[in-house]
Chains A and B, each alone.
Chain A
Amino acid sequence: MKLRISHQTAYRYGHPTRNIVQSLRLTPSVFEGQRTQDWQIEVRGGIRGPGFRDGAGDWIEGWTVRGPSQEVVVSVRGRVETRDTAGVLRGHREMINPLAYLRDTKPTAPDDNLRDLAGSVSETADRLDLAHKLSAAVSAAIAFRPGVTESHTTAAEALKLGEGVCQDHTHALIATARLREMPARYVSGYLHSTINGEPDDAAHAWAEIHIAGLGWVGFDAANACGPDERYVRLGSGLDAQDAAPIRGISQGRGGEMMDVSVSVEELESFQQQSQSQTQS
């Protein structure tokens, strides 16, 4: 698939703000499933800082806006050619030992419900099969419903609610996979198209589980499927925050508003799908 992506994030501050620093993980991963044709990151009024590929294989770019400024706009646009690799992250260069992804962080910390969910899938020597079943169990236990959870909702809380968005499904799947001794991580990226005609987030997240012999394999519990050519992978981490496409901070924090708009369109057919959301 040839996809054109345009992603804008605007931060608005209550008062003029100085020295805004951001760490961006906004460049598509390099692996067999995707090829980036041109890609531009721009922070309005900002200075490009260090850029480097980290141990997880992600391209990281630091930006600074000296300010004073009341608004920072991060714009990303470019084209990516994708191909279905059956969810397997093949040809991705990274150095981190998968065992480092067995550790829990706050949003993925297990509770009794998560332990029960992880334990509901019977033991099998086929780890890939186990991972699929865990993903299906999470899909069944948490219904997709926007607006009921927030960015700091934990896997345990979402499971208790029985509802959530892709971030919650992903945290829950990571937690259950780790409970079954499988390294698991959070992936952020983009998604084109819809499932069963329902519109979906164009900014998206899913999980990767490490399967011995196969490597990292993607699972999208929110959509009950695996990442294919509709998915564009940006980067990974232990949880949503660790994998966040944008991490930023300004001195004199507080009173920050965020506007995000993402569009992922298919170049050949020009079927556009876009979505906007506002968060504070």
Chain B
Amino acid sequence: MNFYNEMFDGERVREPYARLSDWVATMPDDFRQMKQAEAETLFRRIGITFAVYGEGGDPDRLIPFDMMPRVFEQAEWRRLERGIKQRARALNAFLRDVYGRGEIVRAGRIPARLVYQNEAYEKAVVGVVPPRGVYSHIIGIDLVRTAKDEFFVLEDNCRTPSGVSYMLENREIMMRMFPQLFRGNRIEPVDQYPELLRRTLESVAPSKCTDRPTCVVLTPGHFNSAYYEHSFLANLMGVELVEGADLFVDGEFVYMRTTQGPKRVDVIYRRIDDPFLDPLCFRPDSMLGVPGLMDVYRSGGVSICSAPGAGVADDKAIYTFVPEMVRFYLGEEPLLNNVHTWTLWKQDDYRYVMENLADLVVKEVHGSGGYGMLVGPKASKAEVEAFRRKIEANPSNYIAQPTLSLSTCPTFVEEGIAPRHVDLRPYCLCGDRIELVPGGLTRVALREGSLVVNSSQGGGVKDTWVLSE
């Protein structure tokens, strides 16, 4: 297969990588090894050791950091940015619609079953319109590149996408280790992200809030694999990091216990899943949530980011309809491509997939983290057949996609420098405005030839640069 190389066009170095190329060429081997060790020490010292959302695996394992940045030129980025913002607008319009009148279903553009029988569809929020009509405030959109001007969206993450602390730390560490690189290249900053996040959260405070809004980050606790990120973001935003037990409902509002007495909370950036938010509305045995929170939320006393039930917009079955959402709600043509997806509950698709299983990627509808998936071209005959039997047992649990030729980016490996496949997760913020910092999290499949970038499957991370004009 032929892969788009982010840095090289044949022998020629692509423009945005020109200076980096010199940097690599003149770097002595022992210097590189020393720096790589230094980077690892820095990461360990910071304590940033967690798995990216829903990936499982050992939470204390360090995700390998690769010093070779991934670079976008300004024009490339602007194009991506427009596409991402468009998609984020459509996803929120969809959520507003399906928790309201469901026009897109009535119009026959999305099957009712996929929406209302979706396990992420939360009937408790039907009829609740959150401030500014925004349900998903932080949307992580996973993208892959297959050619110079060809990007595909792999999946949307509308609940609580994680990994943004990596974006910030990767940059921080690169700047600390290679300050000269940042003098020689004009790289757009990403460190305004926490400030933008706080502004986004404040902009969706409920109308009952008349003062400057009090925001908090709600974490399930230190045993959670992303706890580092929760405390990191709270810290950088200058807001409190709280657990369920730190909050309580009194009358019409939610309060936080502080040493100065109770303080009303207006916006909760929650990093706990829907079923655990409130034992009076969801799982009664949950100790992580806040009893009565949903009644306060549903009566407009507090904002929850993202809204409970936002996950209905991001599963793999709904994914196939996002381009349709863009057309339906925005009256625009989608700027970002979806990967062609065969849905196995359709007979024609089922037949095609079963006949071409060895060439396709098959995923579980609700799966994540690269688990429970088949990469046909990389699998043995026996693995393909075993997977075929799983599909036969429950076809509607699967979707299939062509094996994409993910772009590669030069990466430091044992033997020197070699191309490895990468993806990209930018973080789109939705409040009174829709904003995106120029950058994101680049994940890299460190194993030679591997197309799976998930950290649980041997993936690493890179700093992601957007060059100024």
Give the B-binding residues of A (Cβ under 8 A). Answer: 19, 21-23, 47-52, 54-56, 60, 62, 64, 66, 95-97, 99-100, 102-103, 238, 241, 247-249, 251
* Complexed CA–CA distance, A24 and B144 (Å): 48
Given A23-B280, A49-B296, A55-B127: A64 and B112 within 8 A (CB)? no
* Complexed CA–CA distance, A21 and B295 (Å): 10
The reply on B333 being an interface residue by CB < 8 A is no
**Which residues from chain B contact A96 at a C-beta distance below 8 Å?**
123, 126
* Complexed CA–CA distance, A168 and B128 (Å): 32
Kindly identify which residue among A21, A49, A95 contacts B126, using a CB–CB cutoff of 8 Å: A95
Kindly identify which residue among B123, B125, B281, B292 contacts A49, using a CB–CB cutoff of 8 Å: B292
**Size bin of chain B's contact surface:** 35 or more
**Which residues from chain B contact A64 at a C-beta distance below 8 Å?**
249-251, 292
Q: CB distance A241 to B124 under 8 Å?
A: no
**Which residues from chain B contact A247 at a C-beta distance below 8 Å?**
280-281, 284
Best-surrounded residue of B124, B125, B296 (most CB of chain A within 10 A)? B124
4 residue pairs, one from A and one from B, having the closest CB atoms = A55-B126, A50-B299, A99-B116, A21-B292
Given A19-B248, A100-B121: A249 and B102 within 8 A (CB)? no
Q: CB distance A19 to B298 under 8 Å?
A: no
Q: CB distance B125 to A97 under 8 Å?
A: no
The reply on B301 being an interface residue by CB < 8 A is yes
Q: CB distance A50 to B112 under 8 Å?
A: no
B179-219 Cβ-contact flags toward A at 8 Å (1 or 0): 00000000000000000000000000000000000000000
Pick 14 A–B contacts, CB within 8 A, sort by A: A21-B248, A22-B292, A49-B249, A50-B298, A52-B299, A55-B124, A55-B128, A95-B101, A97-B102, A97-B116, A99-B117, A100-B116, A100-B121, A103-B117
- Min Cβ gap B160→A in Å is 23
**Which residues from chain A contact B431 at a C-beta distance below 8 Å?**
none
Q: CB distance B251 to A47 under 8 Å?
A: yes
The reply on B119 being an interface residue by CB < 8 A is yes
The reply on B439 being an interface residue by CB < 8 A is no
B102 nearest in chain A by CB position: A97
- Min Cβ gap B313→A in Å is 16
**Which residues from chain B contact A48 at a C-beta distance below 8 Å?**
251
17 additional contacts, CB 8 Å, given A50-B295, A54-B126, A97-B105? A19-B248, A21-B249, A21-B292, A23-B292, A23-B295, A49-B296, A52-B295, A52-B299, A55-B127, A62-B295, A62-B296, A62-B299, A95-B101, A97-B115, A99-B116, A103-B117, A251-B248
* Complexed CA–CA distance, A127 and B100 (Å): 27
B262-298 Cβ-contact flags toward A at 8 Å (1 or 0): 0000000000000000011100100000011011101
**Which residues from chain A contact B292 at a C-beta distance below 8 Å?**
21-23, 49, 62, 64
**Which residues from chain A contact B284 at a C-beta distance below 8 Å?**
241, 247, 249
**Which residues from chain B contact A50 at a C-beta distance below 8 Å?**
252, 295-296, 298-299, 301
B286 nearest in chain A by CB position: A249
Given A96-B126, A103-B119, A249-B280: A52 and B112 within 8 A (CB)? no
Q: CB distance A47 to B250 under 8 Å?
A: yes
Given A50-B301, A100-B121, A100-B123: A249 and B116 within 8 A (CB)? no
Which residues 85-134 in B have Cβ within 8 Å of A in the complex?
Answer: 99-102, 105, 112-113, 115-117, 119, 121, 123-128
* Complexed CA–CA distance, A87 and B284 (Å): 31
**Which residues from chain A contact B296 at a C-beta distance below 8 Å?**
49-50, 62
**Which residues from chain B contact A100 at a C-beta distance below 8 Å?**
116-117, 121, 123, 126
* Complexed CA–CA distance, A54 and B126 (Å): 7
* Complexed CA–CA distance, A71 and B35 (Å): 65
Which residues 290-329 in B have Cβ within 8 Å of A in the complex?
Answer: 291-292, 294-296, 298-299, 301
- Min Cβ gap A145→B in Å is 26
Q: CB distance B251 to A99 under 8 Å?
A: no
**Which residues from chain B contact A66 at a C-beta distance below 8 Å?**
250
- Min Cβ gap A11→B in Å is 14
**Which residues from chain B contact A54 at a C-beta distance below 8 Å?**
124, 126-127, 298
Q: CB distance A249 to B299 under 8 Å?
A: no
Q: CB distance A55 to B123 under 8 Å?
A: yes
Best-surrounded residue of A48, A97, A103, A248 (most CB of chain B within 10 A)? A97
* Complexed CA–CA distance, A103 and B123 (Å): 11
- Min Cβ gap B233→A in Å is 28
- Min Cβ gap B43→A in Å is 39
Best-surrounded residue of B99, B113, B291 (most CB of chain A within 10 A)? B291
- Min Cβ gap B206→A in Å is 11
A62 nearest in chain B by CB position: B295
* Complexed CA–CA distance, A100 and B98 (Å): 11
**Which residues from chain B contact A251 at a C-beta distance below 8 Å?**
248
* Complexed CA–CA distance, A55 and B102 (Å): 13
Q: CB distance B299 to A21 under 8 Å?
A: no
* Complexed CA–CA distance, A49 and B299 (Å): 10
- Min Cβ gap B248→A in Å is 5
* Complexed CA–CA distance, A241 and B249 (Å): 21
- Min Cβ gap B123→A in Å is 5
Q: CB distance A49 to B280 under 8 Å?
A: no
* Complexed CA–CA distance, A227 and B280 (Å): 28
B100 nearest in chain A by CB position: A95
